[in-house]
Amino acid sequence: MELRILQYFLMVAREENITRAAKQLNMTQPTLSRQLMQLEDELGKPLFIRGKRKIELTDEGVLLRRRAEEILSLVNKTEQEITQSEEEMVGQIMIGTGIFSSSQTFLSKVIEEFHEEYPLVKFDIYTGNADLIKERIDQGLVDIGILLEPVDISKYNHIRIPLQEKWGVIASKENKLAKKQVVEKDDLKDVPLFLTNREIIQSEISNWLKGDIPLNSAYSYNFASAILPFIQDNKGVAITIEGAYQVLNQNQICFIPFSPQLSTNTVLVWKKYTRLSPVINKFIKKSQEYLEKNRSLYEK
């Protein structure tokens, strides 16, 4: 399977039309059709559902599109790392981060300072939870991750960022909990709960609840924004961090912290035993310098 054939395949998948894709690729439609059929023959699976006006991907085609994007991204990244010199600060840094305010504020400040010194460097920001970001770091698709603890970082080098996030619940302003200053474990009895799908955090929340409230019936989510309509409609409350609440539309919802307080920290990680490009090394160093310079701000 050649890289150029994967590029042809991705163009067709994006355009959903072979004729348009052929024009984008500066090749004839019959030639492109022949290449795609040869790809399907090589894989032994149909990749397209060919309609009169557009073509759609089969399940196998959807899988190949995702893998092809990852392969081509990794190839481009590898070429940049090999050809880059110490003096030439160009290229792309791929950063994975969760959707919570403290990490995004920290990241935006560091990128701003870094970009002033190295304006030719581009950034690709991937959002996901810690498990997804670690997976992409392992695959070489993310260079640096900003992760919310608890998280296993034994495979990574890391910088501990003195950013604390408080746990609590997001509730509708119409919910009875909205009148409280803090939420205690007994307040959550018989309340429909939405909880992150990360098992390591579910375990920590269960410990805070001291096992008094079973979590096996809770609804799970990846990002708090995904269950926002349910919270706004007062269908339950979401257990999450305050930073996740701060990036949501707060017109109909509120955040109430846990009592006793439950907090979590943040870490910046990158893969161990891996040769990093000069640009990535510079960014890590810039992150350390920024933290040293602003440590009093973050350790309030």
Name the architecture of domain 92-162+266-297.
Answer: 3-Layer(aba) Sandwich (3.40)
Among 127-136, 211-220, 255-264, name the one with the lowest average pLDDT: 211-220
- Which pLDDT belongs to residue 60? 93
- Which pLDDT belongs to residue 117? 92
Cross-strand bridge partners of residue 147: 267
pLDDT tens sequence across 217-241: 568 888 888 889 999 999 999 999 9
pLDDT band at 247 (very low <50, low <70, confident <90, very high): confident
Name the architecture of domain 164-264.
Answer: 3-Layer(aba) Sandwich (3.40)
- Which pLDDT belongs to residue 51? 83
Same CATH topology for 92-162+266-297 and 164-264?
yes
- Which pLDDT belongs to residue 220? 86
Question: Is the whole-model pTM more than 0.75?
Answer: no
Check whether 41 has a pLDDT greater than 80: yes
Tell me the average pLDDT across 113-136: 92
- Which pLDDT belongs to residue 1? 78
Q: Which residue is listed with tokens 């990244």?
A: 77
Check whether 260 has a pLDDT greater than 90: yes
Q: Where are the chain's structural domains?
A: 3-83, 92-162+266-297, 164-264
The domain 3-83 is placed in CATH, from the list 3.40.190.100, 1.10.10.10, 1.10.340.30, 1.10.1380.10, at 1.10.10.10
- Which pLDDT belongs to residue 88? 66
Tell me the average pLDDT across 36-49: 92
Check whether 73 has a pLDDT greater than 90: no
